[in-house]
Amino acid sequence: MKSEPVVMGIETSCDETGVGIVRGTELLADAVASSVEEHARFGGVVPEVASRAHLEAMVPTVQRALDDAGLTLADLDGIAVTAGPGLAGALMVGVGAAKAYSIATGVPLYGVNHLSAHIAVDTLENGPIPEPAIGLLVSGGHSSIMLVEDLAGKVTQLGASIDDAAGEAFDKVARLLGLPFPGGPYIDRAAQNGDRAYVRFPRGLTAAKDMERHRYDFSFSGLKTAVARWIETRRADGEDVPVDDVAAAFQEAVCDVLTGKAILAAKEHGVDTILLGGGVAANSRLRALATERAEQAGITLRYPRPKLCTDNGAMVAALGSHLVAAGVAPSRIDFPANSSMNIEVVSLADRL
Ligand code: KG4
Ligand code: ZN
């Protein structure tokens, strides 16, 4: 019997240069170089700065991952790379590097979807994913409810944010509260000392009429505005803004809607497993509330450790390994980086 595939994954869709190596579902190395500090003073990721940082970090990060795993390029059975979605210039660095490694070694190349990789990473922690499963995908750029019938090729989006992504809302509200970028982890921390019931902020798209048209969709821009107005009024009245309480109340509104709709989707599709994935899945309240509600609903909830929720190369390697094991065809060497890659395309098999 052939041993499990060894796959290297390369991730450069945003500000993390990630290189992970897995054997089957075993994580062998997870090297990440982040340019986040170079962006912090701008309050957001600057694409050109990110691309240059990827270029500088690429070869050393690949080398570090190989060293950590005790392997050489010749030991690989596959190379997977994020083909999209993400920042165009940043993606091009990873895709270009992955093609070069593939051509130099003859190892097959898989161009994969960043979002499917956020779901696949859970296999490294919790083993194969029972299919069908519901994936609640919450990152800086996306908030979607996915029906995962086959992680190797059949994922369907049931709903998504119609405006800001969940992570984007965290980052914007953090800014309003004077917290550093990226704001998610800072809100999470501040909220631990705050009162979740301090203010009841709006839960977007949960009113009866919205539940007809936008059953599994999200909207976070009204929530962000409500927080902004609340802070403005408070300041205009010459009063202090209780950062911890506002953080906790905002976070509660986001987590309430995310978990409520994910559980509903699972129930209505007769699915008994929910996976959390993406940077916001690292949020401690999201994990706790989802656990509580899943238990009540008799649904199994799975999520990876926080470090594997935010962008990394291990998630790309995990998806690549799954594709190799499932016998999915590698990608043609001329596939492009695609900044707006369709969320339902798991990998660029031999099509463009
Ligand atoms: O998946 P990710 O690392 O990058 C994208 O694919 O976008 O997600 C980044 C997002 C950021 O908006 C960040 O603020 C958020 O995930 N995030 C969190 C937490 N850790 C990261 N949001 C809430 N709570 C956290 N603990
Ligand atoms: Zn991501």
Domain holding 247: CATH number?
Answer: 3.30.420.40
Domain ranges, residue 18: 6-125+309-326
pTM value surpassing 0.75: yes
Does the C-beta of 278 come closer than 6 Å to ligand 1? yes
Residue 44's pLDDT is what? 87
Residue 351 inside a domain? The answer is no
Rounded distance from Cα 200 to ligand 1 centre (Å): 23
- Report the nearest-CA residue for atom 14 of ligand 1: 184
Helix (H) / strand (E) containing 36:
helix 36-40
Shared domain check, 157 and 175: yes
Shared domain check, 314 and 299: no
Does the C-beta of 279 come closer than 6 Å to ligand 1? yes
The annotation status of 140 as a binding-site residue, yes or no, is yes
Shared domain check, 138 and 111: no
Does the C-beta of 247 come closer than 6 Å to ligand 1? no
Residue 344 inside a domain? The answer is no
Rounded distance from Cα 301 to ligand 2 centre (Å): 20
Residue 253 inside a domain? The answer is yes
Does the C-beta of 84 come closer than 6 Å to ligand 1? no
Shared domain check, 106 and 51: yes
Residue 297 inside a domain? The answer is yes
Q: Quote the distance between the C-alpha of residue 4 and its chain's center.
A: 26
Cis peptide bond upstream of 108, omega within 30: no
Nearest-atom number in ligand 1 for the CA of 16 is: 3
pLDDT tens figures, 276-309: 999 999 999 999 999 999 999 999 999 999 999 9
Does the C-beta of 30 come closer than 6 Å to ligand 1? no
The answer to whether the CB of 64 falls within 8 A of the CB of 18 is: no
| 219 φψ region: left (φ > 0), alpha (ψ -120 to 50), beta (else) | beta
Ramachandran angles phi, psi of 86, nearest 5° = 160, -165
Shared domain check, 240 and 208: yes
Residue 339 inside a domain? The answer is no
Q: How would DSSP label each residue in 151-187? A: TTTEEEEEEEBSSS-HHHHHHHHHHHTTPPSSHHHHH
Number of domains in the chain: 2
Shared domain check, 239 and 92: no
Shared domain check, 294 and 315: no
- Ligand 1, pocket-test mutation among 12, 30, 113, 139, most atoms within 8 A of CB: 139
The answer to whether the CB of 270 falls within 8 A of the CB of 299 is: no
- Report the nearest-CA residue for atom 10 of ligand 1: 140
**Locus of tokens 């049931």:** 158
Does the C-beta of 188 come closer than 6 Å to ligand 1? yes
The annotation status of 283 as a binding-site residue, yes or no, is yes
Q: What does the alpha-carbon distance between residue 61 and residue 80 come to, in Å, rounded to a whole number?
A: 15
Residue 246 inside a domain? The answer is yes
Shared domain check, 210 and 71: no
Residue 2's pLDDT is what? 60
Shared domain check, 140 and 98: no
Residue 341 inside a domain? The answer is no
Rounded distance from Cα 105 to ligand 1 centre (Å): 34
Burial of 111 (0-12, 13-18, 19+ CB in 10 A): buried
Which residue, among 281, 267, 32, 30, has the nearest Cα to 144 in the 3D structure? 281
Residue 352's pLDDT is what? 44
Beta bridge partners of 30: 20
Does the C-beta of 283 come closer than 6 Å to ligand 1? yes
C-alpha atoms less than 13 angstroms from C-alpha of 251 in its C-beta half-sphere? 33
Ramachandran angles phi, psi of 324, nearest 5° = -60, -50
Q: Which two tokens stand for residue 281?
A: 């899945």
Shared domain check, 139 and 56: no
Shared domain check, 208 and 121: no
The answer to whether the CB of 253 falls within 8 A of the CB of 187 is: no
Rounded distance from Cα 47 to ligand 2 centre (Å): 15
Residue 342 inside a domain? The answer is no
The answer to whether the CB of 79 falls within 8 A of the CB of 22 is: no
Shared domain check, 117 and 33: yes
Residues of the chain scoring pLDDT < 50: 1, 352
Does the C-beta of 86 come closer than 6 Å to ligand 1? no
